Amino acid sequence: MLEFEIRHKDLMGRIGKLRTPHGSVETPTIMPVINPNLMSLKAADMKQYGAEMLITNAYIIYRKRNSREEAIKNGIHSLLRCEMPIMTDSGSYQLYEYKDVEVSNREILEFQQRIGSDVCVPLDIPTPPYANRERAEGDLDVTLRRMQEARSIIQDNPLAGVVQGSTFLDLRAESAKRVADIGFDVYAIGGVVPLLASYAFDKLVDIIVASKMNLPLNAPVHLFGAGHPMIFPLAVALGCDLFDSAAYALYAKGRRYITSDGTRKVDDLQYLPCSCPVCSSYSVKEVQEDVDLLAAHNLWVTFEEMRIVKQSIVERNLWELCERRCRAYPALLNGLKQMAKYSALIEKYDPATKHPFFYLGESSAHRPEVLRYSNRLDRFSLAGNVLITTNLKETDITEEEQFDHVFFVKPPFGPYPAELSESYPVGQAEIPAEVDDEAMTVALQNVLKLLELNRNRNVKFVFRYDSSWEGHPLIEEIRKYAEVKVMESN
């Protein structure tokens, strides 16, 4: 087993240290894809961008006699002239894309072993999304047999187990379970490139979650083919640790300039909005005219975004980063909303104490912290007269009113005792002055929950709400359990 030590966590994301035969790598990280036949941006230069590990394609090296013989003689690190850890892919993707792979699982694995790969990959079958079930099951059968075979072939080198199953979540779950049972050093989620290309980020979220739930938590997980930085916050939040990027070069070839929130046609740019070494030393025209400069910029911003993701794990505000980034595209927002549906699950992995909660829009109403708060409403033991008010000022309670407990209502959390005004998360949550409907609904659901939890106790509830909340249907529900009064907005 490769040693993998987790150092910081936020949501299901983590910063980890992976020890490979060629040294340690800090995750999450991106492995630039090196094509040994092109090598326009050289493997040895990748370090300056922030790369700690590379990935190359064993099949492409194997296919050509020259590169095959050199790799066998001197090893993959010598061939790429680089001593960084190198993962080797098997040619599955070529199999998928061009159907021209003439090599067996055993052959390509033995080759990877001989050339000294730091992570070998078996010849899995990437089933495309929305394939029919029969095909997905058939492909998965073959893939799993090859995984089993790989485990018996590879003894000394680290080995990746690949999860397939197309868009069938039960097949993904089954696939993950089976590879976890076989036991690998790295687990890779495959067959998602077409989903990334079509911006089907909600489906991608489902697939990552179905796979992650059935993989060992203490092992690194690679998301195959996810090289565009706009997906990093979401994918890392769901527990992906390794990424590979051919995107930097492919986008450059397509004259695309990558930014953390999307892609621009480089020919449309009047200015370079970035301050990387390329964009701060060259003119727009020079970047437009030189595909290598464009690829270099793409690589700089790719690594920059991963550093931003890592810092937000340390600060424990990865959800906020996801919310900000996912506002860039409706398709990314679909991904975020899909992630919010898994809040209950994420909540289980999420460390309990955090930094201040910023409400950044509807998805914030379904954050794991909000769900955790709701799950703990049964911890308040109440008796006597209880005031629940949406007005957060105690001064509004008149002298003659005697309440045994006062709860303030802060959206999206709902009721919290005045004594917790300074405590995490409710007390410290920063919410906009104008409350949106989603936050109001979740807050009122939690008021209702507190009332219902105490309905058989000897408690008399008074619920006061600001007139700006008037007309919300849940207020009528609340009326069944409490004396309800509207207050004028101030």
Q: What's the rounded Cα separation, in Å, for the pair 52 and 144?
A: 30
Nearer to ligand GUN, 238 or 406 (CB): 238
Nearer to ligand GUN, 58 or 238 (CB): 58
Under rule CB under 6 A, residue 139 binds ligand GUN: no
- Structure tokens given for 311: 């810092």
Binds 193, which of ligand GUN, Zn ion, none (CB < 5 to 8 A, cut-off by type)? Answer: ligand GUN
Of 162, 236, 240, 475, the residue at the interface with ligand GUN (CB under 6 A) is: 162
From the list 121-129, 172-180, 299-307, 346-354, the region that binds ligand GUN by CB under 6 A is: 121-129
Q: What's the rounded Cα separation, in Å, for the pair 288 and 278?
A: 12
- Structure tokens given for 414: 């709902």
Do strands 160-163 and 86-89 pair parallel, antiparallel, or not at all (unpaired)? unpaired
Q: What's the rounded Cα separation, in Å, for the pair 305 and 232?
A: 8
Question: Where in the sequence numbering do the catalytic residues fall?
Answer: 89
Q: What's the rounded Cα separation, in Å, for the pair 258 and 30?
A: 15
Nearer to ligand GUN, 193 or 294 (CB): 193
Nearest-approach distance from CB 374 to Zn ion, in angstroms = 44
Under rule CB under 6 A, residue 175 binds ligand GUN: no
Nearer to ligand GUN, 224 or 463 (CB): 224
Nearest-approach distance from CB 233 to Zn ion, in angstroms = 19
DSSP 43-76: GGGHHHHT---EEEEHHHHHHSHHHHHHHHHH-H
Of 29, 92, 143, 317, the residue at the interface with ligand GUN (CB under 6 A) is: 92
- Structure tokens given for 129: 């999304």
Under rule CB under 6 A, residue 93 binds ligand GUN: yes
Nearer to ligand GUN, 118 or 124 (CB): 124
Residues 235-294 that bind Zn ion (CB under 5 A): 274, 276, 278-279
Half-sphere exposure of residue 420: CA atoms within 13 angstroms, side-chain side: 19
Contact status, residue 194 vs residue 129, Cβ threshold 8 Å: yes
- Structure tokens given for 297: 């910029």
CB-based burial of residue 123 (10 Å sphere; 0-12 exposed, 13-18 middle, 19+ buried)?
buried
From the list 118-126, 168-176, 198-206, 422-430, the region that binds ligand GUN by CB under 6 A is: 118-126
Q: Residues in contact with Zn ion, total (CB under 5 A)? A: 5
Q: What's the rounded Cα separation, in Å, for the pair 194 and 128?
A: 7
Please report which residue ranges of 99-153 form alpha helices under DSSP H: 105-114, 133-153
Report which DSSP code applies to 467: G
- Mark residues 198-237: x for contact with ligand GUN by CB under 6 A, - for none: --------------------------xx------------
- Structure tokens given for 400: 């003659």
Would you tell me which residues interact with ligand GUN (CB under 6 A)? 89-90, 92-93, 121, 124, 126, 162, 190-191, 193, 224-225
Would you tell me which residues interact with Zn ion (CB under 5 A)? 274, 276, 278-279, 297
